[in-house]
Structure 1
Amino acid sequence: MFSRPLNFNQPTYYIKNDAIEPTSTHQINMKNCILITNVNSLLGYALSYRFLEEWNREQDENYAELREKTEFRLLCRERQGLDELELLGAKIIEVQDYQNQGKIKEYMDGVGYVMFLPENSSQRLKEGETVIKCAKEQGVDYVTMLSYMGADYAKEENKHLTEYCRLEKFLSKHFNHNSYTVMRSAMWHQFYYYYGPMIEDENKIKLPVHEKAEFGSIDLADLVDAVYNLSSFPAEEAVYSNLAHLYITNLRKKNKTLFEFTPSGTITPGQLVKAASVGLERKDMTYEKISPETLYDYLRRIHNDNRFRQRPIQSATDIVVHKPILKEDRPYTFPLGRYLNDIVIEGILEYWTLADSNKQSHVSDDLEKAIDRRPTAVGKFFKHNRDQFSRLR
């Protein structure tokens, strides 16, 4: 059901020994490829799934023609857990060294549009700069960088957010205002899945922030919908050579180099606990402030927790319909334990450090405009996913 139909009129790319070999220079010149980096991350996987899901839907004849002329390339560290994306038609490419400019340039052959997600590694800055430089040198038409709220507040002690800030600036120096955009997001509601065992064992939510701190989170499904909606629109409005061309044209119409995807308002730790208590139907839940070190140790244990090894069975969505049948989370937004490497955990702690200083309280209507509805509130997230939290007992 997920396999891509063959098109014998289109040349094919072969992936051999970590290299891409185009069968003709004509396809390279067409720039028919869309490339997404860091697909081993939660956001990278969710974005890839969302775009590929739409790519596989039944569409009108005009859209079908664009679809057949488009190729999705997904860069990853390892292929583990990416089988579904390959079944949906993507070309999965394992990257051994993101600083190898020769290899990265090969992967950029024929690419018109890049969704750039910096790596969750100790070499994020150098690797990200290499991706941006290679994209520029290979003539990529447009780059969307996914970043995080708070990057503009980051100081040297906020190492990871500072790196995002530097990469944002590096991107702006290499691509003009009509050829890139940065999409910053707040923390995702799905982070609270990692708190499932804590809620079950202690009936508490513990964070390293004071009780009056204000912060916010958004639903990861809303975020990927926003990225998709800003890139796509009904194909019948104009004639395009492929989906990369369509996405780029639509993003350029927005004429924005920065989107800030935040909730409609902020909450305090007490309000978060109340939302979880009501949504999960648990009584007497409480809040406790803990040290960053305590949260770090907890998340390290979750990294190896068997309850976070597999995604839920895909009951909420169906590839042949446009919207989830149920209100519960789409399986591709569920956070696996393996996503919690040390770099990710340190980044989460930086978020809470800024929240404790009331530097995660900025709100914008960019998300609401992009998805054309009110963003999913954290209380609804808990309520709609009560069964998922029960599964984590």
Structure 2
Amino acid sequence: MRNGEYRSHSGNFELRVLCRQRQGYQLEQLEKMGAKIWEVNYTDEHKMREVMRNVCHVLMVPESSRDTLKEAETLMCAAKHESVDHFSMVSVLAVDRVQSGDINDQHSNEFRTILHFHKIEEKLKKEFHGEKHCIMRIPMLNQFFYFLAPKIEGENIVPLPVKKDKKWSSIDLNDIVEAIYCLAKKRSERSQQQQSGDAFHHKQVYNFTCSKVHNTEEIVKQMGEGLDQRDLHFKEISENDLKQWLHKLKDDKKFSQRPDDRNDFRKGRDGFASFPLGKFLHEDMIEILMEYWRLVNKGKLDMQTDDLEKVLERKPHTIKEYFEVNRQQFKRLK
């Protein structure tokens, strides 16, 4: 899904939300909030130019599909043709590390999707150079663990295809959404005041991580403390085992509808906007999840920055805090 901000001649703004298909995804919730929904074919450049007309800012979230690279390039070309002022995208943490030595040459097929993200980043830098672009790289989201809730709550285990001593980040989607809002607000204020502003809030690349990176066993321990399950423990499994489990959840009724509750972004409480649905667990989405765990096992996710903390102007939610405030959400998925 991609967003575009349109400015009319009267000075009013319109938020355009682009999607492949609106039916069955409860997008009417966004319409009630004032967004305009556009159903598009991302590979149709003529149509994409129409959608990009009079748009000043674009936020692209590349979708997990076989045509990810082509779709992203089409959108960027259309935006460039229509003279979009600023283009930002959400990318994958450590995407720049897939170009280092052994991963790029010998294991490119293992990181096919992540390599596509790297190519999209390079294309964006070329088409919208300088301060006309912004890249926000994110790690695994805490919300992924809802898919493991039946195992967490029913068997007291967190089954993952990673080594127990490998360090990695997992952060709250609520923090990411708030960070994107903060950056957009800062940019808008800077534009309206025609001032240079705070240089940090106008960087071209942000690497969002936890305030402190932990290994797998430490992360699982924090999950257990947040869920009040002191006996929660980590279990290393194969990629195939996790794939089979995720495929099984595609049609699970517990993951067919989002909760009616609204998100509380400041507290990190999940609601309608951030709960994951089983229908999104298609083959390409599952593959990029596997690629992430492969990066963890190669030690590429052992990295920490204060980018997220600086953008939010507060500490991001810790694993323990996130699971504590969402404890009941996990328990209902037992």
Deviation at 1:313, TM superposition (A): 1.9
- Amino acid of the residue matched to residue 117 of structure 1? V
Task: Confirm or deny that 1:227 pairs with 2:159.
Answer: no
Which residue in 2 is equivalent to 1:91? 36
Task: Confirm or deny that 1:81 pairs with 2:31.
Answer: no
- Given the superposition, is the C-alpha separation of residues 66 and 249 from structure 1 closer, same or farther in structure 2, using an over 3 Å criterion? farther
Deviations 1:22-54 (A, max 9, x none): xxxxxxxxxxxxxxxx15xxxx8xxx9xx9xxx
Counting only pairs closer than 5 Å after superposition, residues 333-372 of structure 1 correspond to structure 2 as: 333-372=274-313
Task: Confirm or deny that 1:301 pairs with 2:248.
Answer: yes
Deviations 1:245-293 (A, max 9, x none): 99x9979884421111111111122112211221111242221111111
Deviation at 1:202, TM superposition (A): 1.7
Which residue in 2 is equivalent to 1:185? 138
- Amino acid of the residue matched to residue 32 of structure 2? L
Which residue in 2 is equivalent to 1:210? 163
CA distance in 1, matches of 2:129, 2:191: 25
CA distance in 2, matches of 1:119, 1:258: 20
- Amino acid of the residue matched to residue 135 of structure 1? A
Unaligned runs of 5+ in 1: 1-37, 52-64, 318-322
- Amino acid of the residue matched to residue 66 of structure 2? S
- Given the superposition, is the C-alpha separation of residues 109 and 282 from structure 1 closer, same or farther in structure 2, using an over 3 Å criterion? same
Deviations 1:275-331 (A, max 9, x none): 1221111242221111111111111112221111111122555xxxxx65x652243
Q: Is the 8 A contact 1:218 1:263 kept in 2?
A: yes
Deviations 1:187-235 (A, max 9, x none): 1111111110111232111111111111111111111111110110498
> What is the TM-score normalised by the length of structure 2?
0.89
Q: Secondary structure at the match of 1:178?
A: helix
Q: Secondary structure at the match of 2:84?
A: coil
Among candidates 220, 225, 235, match of residue 278 of structure 1: 225
Instruction: Work out the percentage of aligned pairs sharing the same amino acid.
Output: 34
Q: Is the 8 A contact 2:64 2:288 kept in 1?
A: no
Deviation at 1:76, TM superposition (A): 0.3
CA distance in 2, matches of 1:249, 1:338: 44
- Given the superposition, is the C-alpha separation of residues 70 and 310 from structure 1 closer, same or farther in structure 2, using an over 3 Å criterion? same
Which residue in 1 is equivalent to 2:101? none
CA distance in 2, matches of 1:261, 1:183: 7
- Amino acid of the residue matched to residue 146 of structure 2? Y
CA distance in 2, matches of 1:249, 1:93: 34
Q: Root-mean-square deviation (CA), in Å?
A: 2.7
Task: Confirm or deny that 1:389 pairs with 2:330.
Answer: yes
Q: Is the 8 A contact 1:221 1:330 kept in 2?
A: no
Q: Is the 8 A contact 2:172 2:268 kept in 1?
A: no
Q: Secondary structure at the match of 1:140?
A: coil
> What is the TM-score normalised by the length of structure 1?
0.76
Q: Is the 8 A contact 1:204 1:287 kept in 2?
A: yes
